[in-house]
Every structure is written in structure tokens, then in C-alpha cells.
Structure 1
Amino acid sequence: MRGAVPGLGTPHPFGSRLPAIYGSDELAGRLLAAFDEVLAPVHSTLDNLAAYLDPQLAPADFVDWLAGWVAAETAPGWTLRQRREAVDSAVALHRVRGTARGLAEQVRTVFGVLPEVTENGGTVWSSTPGGPLPGSPVCALTVTVRVADPDLVPLARLRALVEANRPAHVPCDVRVVIEDGPVAGGDDDGTL
């Protein structure tokens, strides 16, 4: 990656480490200069390793590699800033994956729209045995995205994203609602 930087120097050239008797030898100097040129990107990368691992400072071509490391959700055509934010927030999103908050944040990160996530489950405790249970006995999850322009949120990509990040055992409905208009995509009720 960094080998394509023209004129990249090395902080520790081999020629300067030679004993004086070999330092004046032209052939040895040219051979060692070739090694310096080959190893200069290695020195540069190691000297700046902390910056390579920080998505806000890493070189543009390295950000995509970092995205693969942390399984960040990115899409073709994203700007460098969007990819950096996706990598930066990936670990925090993995912590809340499978929750309503995590699903909403994932949709917001990818599409820039905060959805309404409705689930029917819940937890409660009671000191009285036999009290009513929260939610419904049938699991359900509904993700509703409200947009003015339905082209901003491609339905196939939205559904794929929700399917990949929802709890595996919970059936899910995905809805895109056009602000001040009819429901887009899916069945008559707007479900995909």
C-alpha cells in the first residue's frame, strides 16, 4: 500500500551503519540503497501504526481494510467521511446488536434516517406471583422509516440490513412511509 509513495525515505539508512572501510564502496552503497528503498514503507507504517488503526486518521485506502476488521456496514459510493464514521461506530453497534436501539442506530448509520422500531417484548418483575406478563406471547418486530423521498432508502437494502441485524428468532416487518403520502413498497399495508 505505502510502497507507491515516491521518494519515501528511511530514518535509518543501512549505508550509514557500515564500517568506514565499506562506507566508501560504491557497489555496497547502491545495494544498501536498494534495501532502504524497499524497506522505507515498512518503517513509515510502523512509525505511524497508531494512526493507521484510528479510523479518523488512517489513509483512505486503509479505512476499507479496517472496515473488514470490525465488520463495519458500508456501501459502495459512500464518502470517505461516511466510511470513517461507520468504522468508528462499528464496535459500539456490535455491543447493542439485536436490540431495538442497536437496530435503529444501524439503520441511521447506513441510511442517515432514524427509524421507529416497535417490538412487543419486555421484562418486568413482581413480588406477587402470577402477575401479568409484559408484551405479547407472539414475538414481533416492526421497523418503520419515514422519508420524504422513497429513493433515499432503497427497500431491498433496508430489508437486507434489518434481516442481518434483528434477533434471529423474531419475525420482522419493514415499512417505508412517505411523509404526507401513501406507504411505499411491500403489501397493501406497506409491509415488505
Structure 2
Amino acid sequence: MAQLQVRQRGEVLRVVVLSRQLSIGRTPDNGLPLRDPSVAIRHAEITAESGALLLTDLTGGEAVTFVNGHRLAPNQPHRLEQGDEIQIGPFTLSFLADVTAAVTPTPSSGRVDVQGELRARPARSPLPTFPAEQPPRDGAALYTEFLPPFFQESEFLGRYLKIFEALWEPMQRRQDSIELHFDPRVAPPQVLGWMAGWLGIPLDPHWPEGRQRAWLREAITLYRWRGTRYGLTRALETVYGLTPVLREDTAQPHTLTLQLLDSPDGEDTASREAITQFIFMHAPAHVRVTVEFVEPSPPTSPTSDAAPPRDDSATGRRA
């Protein structure tokens, strides 16, 4: 019986028994969900073929998968051997073949369900937009190359054709790469607001450009998870770079408590009111939501005592 041992920072999170097929990705509908922004929605897949287990990277090069420190080529099956170490984002997956007894962690019997880990990520720098500005062309116009040699020697004709070149060449470059104008990663900044209106999603102009592009890229996928804990967590990670801790108490049904870091690193900080309003928009309508902001704990030293964190909360209920 083959197994995958999932570890993060040296801690064993879970042990998965491998069968004929196992999908690995960020969303909960995968057989092995790895909830981290660096993991793709459909990151990899393990399939059984001719008595062997094959690992295939499905990211197409957008994310990376390592096996024993070597990068796995996209869409190229790799045969897993005993003891292989698979690295996907911050997770390490150890392949264990011929395991007779599976050791699985026993779930706690507490009444409070806690999910997540407090983190803050700065916004990524946006990619260069397309089309890139072309430097001015010196000398004769480009269009003179399509004329007979006798007309190419005319200085006046070269300057005259430059007028049409200045008008038509930018449009030609745009048409040659029109599909890139619909890619949130590289589309011109002027297109982002129009694209958001076309998709019917809110786009706050006060968000940094990197966050706006990430939100446009993730929003359609997150429509499938709207009203779930994963959808709310991923929306906060995408827009504000904050990973919350979600707490549900079975003694108080239809309640949800979110704990967030108050002062994330980076320049894309947002007000508590903006973050709270965003949470109320994406939380389930029948759930009472409480938002708590916690200041990051300062580094402790042996000679000084750390000050206790300050908790401020906002409570709301969606109608």
C-alpha cells in the first residue's frame, strides 16, 4: 500500500493512501488540497499505470514542482520511487511504497473548529504590460521596404510614409497580440476596470495594481467557492495578502470568527473598515461574522517581556 506523507516546516500534516488516481491542488475539490497561494488550482496528478505510480505536473510552467530537488517538466509523467521527496510550494510530500500499516493522526474531539494560520504577504510587483512601447525608428519609414528600389531612394517619400507608419503600426501591434489584452497579468492598466465590469466583479481602484490583477485572475474561480471558508480565505489572500484564522464553535451555530494581522508588511495596507466590509460581502449570508485584528507579536528577547497583543473586533451579520 503506497502512501504520501505531507509535511510543512517539518510537521506531518496528514498521510494519504494512494489509489489509482490522486489530484493535487489548491482548491478543496482536489484529492489532496494544499491550501497555499503558491500552489496552482490543479497543480499535479498521480496516476497508476502498469503497476507504477506516475507524477505529472499540470501547471504548464506557471508554478513549479520539484522531485528530489530537480524541477519536474510540465506534462511529463515521472515515475515515483521509494523515498522520493516531492516539493510543492511550502509542502513536502514523501512517497512511501509498500507500507503495511498506515498511521493517521486522530482528530481532536473539541467543540471549536479552527482553520488557518495568521500570515501577511506583500503584493507582487506587476509584470510589464503589453504592448511594450517601441522606440522611435530612425531613418526612412518601415513602409519604404515594400516599394521598388527606385522609390526607396526618395527622401520625401520616406518622410511622407512615416505619417502612416505612426498611425497604423501601433494598431497592427495591438491586433497581433489582441489575446494579451484579455490576460489580467499583462493587460494595459486602462483595461482592468473595463474587464472587471465585463466580468461583473467589484474592483476597488484604491487596491495596488498587483492586487487588482490578482483579483481579476482569481475572481471567476472563486465564484465556485463563494460562501465557503476556502473562498473567503482565498479572497482575503488575493486582495489584501492576509491569511486569516477561522474559528467555528458548534455550541454557537451560524457564527464565524476571523482573526487577522492588523499591520501587514508592505505598502499595500488597507483600513480595518475596508477589510471588514470586504469580509461581509464574501461571507455566507446566514452566518454572523466577527472580525478580530491582532497586532503582530514583536520578537521576544531573554531580557524583555513581549507586550500582549491588542485585539479589536468588528461584528456584522449579512442580511
Q: Same fold (TM over 0.5)?
A: yes
What does residue 290 of structure 2 align with?
174
SS of alignment partner, residue 93 of structure 1: helix
The question of 1:49 aligning with 2:165 is answered: no
- CA RMSD in angstroms comes to 4.3
Q: Deviations over 1:11-54 (max 9, x none)?
A: x9555556789878877765543222111111111223343333
Name the CA distance, whole Å, in 2 between partners of 1:73 and 1:84. Answer: 10
Give the CA deviation at 1:55.
3.2
1:155 corresponds, among 272, 280, 288, to 272
Name the CA distance, whole Å, in 1 between partners of 2:214 and 2:137. Answer: 29
Deviating more after overlay: 45-54 vs 60-69: 60-69
Name the CA distance, whole Å, in 1 between partners of 2:205 and 2:290. Answer: 20
Q: Deviations over 1:99-123 (max 9, x none)?
A: 2211111112222222234568xxx
1:110 corresponds, among 233, 239, 243, to 239
SS of alignment partner, residue 243 of structure 2: coil
Give the CA deviation at 1:93.
1.9
Within a 5 Å distance, the mapping from 1:133-144 to structure 2 comes to 140-144=254-258
Instruction: Tell me: CA distance 1:118–1:67, structure 2 relative to 1, closer, same or farther (3 Å).
Output: farther
SS of alignment partner, residue 258 of structure 2: strand
8 Å contact kept, 2:283–2:289: no
What does residue 7 of structure 1 align with?
136
The question of 1:37 aligning with 2:130 is answered: no
Name the CA distance, whole Å, in 2 between partners of 1:149 and 1:30. Answer: 58
Higher strand share: 2
Name the CA distance, whole Å, in 2 between partners of 1:8 and 1:86. Answer: 38
The question of 1:146 aligning with 2:260 is answered: yes
Instruction: Tell me: CA distance 1:22–1:65, structure 2 relative to 1, closer, same or farther (3 Å).
Output: farther
Paired residue type of 1:175: V
Name the CA distance, whole Å, in 2 between partners of 1:98 and 1:105. Answer: 12
8 Å contact kept, 1:55–1:66: no
What does residue 164 of structure 1 align with?
281
Paired residue type of 1:140: H
Give the CA deviation at 1:153.
5.6
Unmatched segments (≥5 aa) in structure 1: 121-134
SS of alignment partner, residue 233 of structure 2: helix
8 Å contact kept, 1:117–1:142: yes
What does residue 125 of structure 1 align with?
none
SS of alignment partner, residue 146 of structure 1: strand
8 Å contact kept, 1:67–1:73: no
Name the CA distance, whole Å, in 1 between partners of 2:234 and 2:294. Answer: 20
Count of residues paired in the alignment: 168
What does residue 52 of structure 2 align with?
none
TM-score, normalized by length of structure 1? Answer: 0.60
Name the CA distance, whole Å, in 2 between partners of 1:145 and 1:4. Answer: 44
Paired residue type of 1:154: S
2:206 corresponds, among 66, 76, 81, to 76
8 Å contact kept, 1:144–1:175: yes
Paired residue type of 2:254: A
Instruction: Tell me: CA distance 1:106–1:8, structure 2 relative to 1, closer, same or farther (3 Å).
Output: farther
The question of 1:86 aligning with 2:86 is answered: no
SS of alignment partner, residue 281 of structure 2: helix
Instruction: Tell me: CA distance 1:8–1:84, structure 2 relative to 1, closer, same or farther (3 Å).
Output: farther
Unmatched segments (≥5 aa) in structure 2: 1-129, 296-307
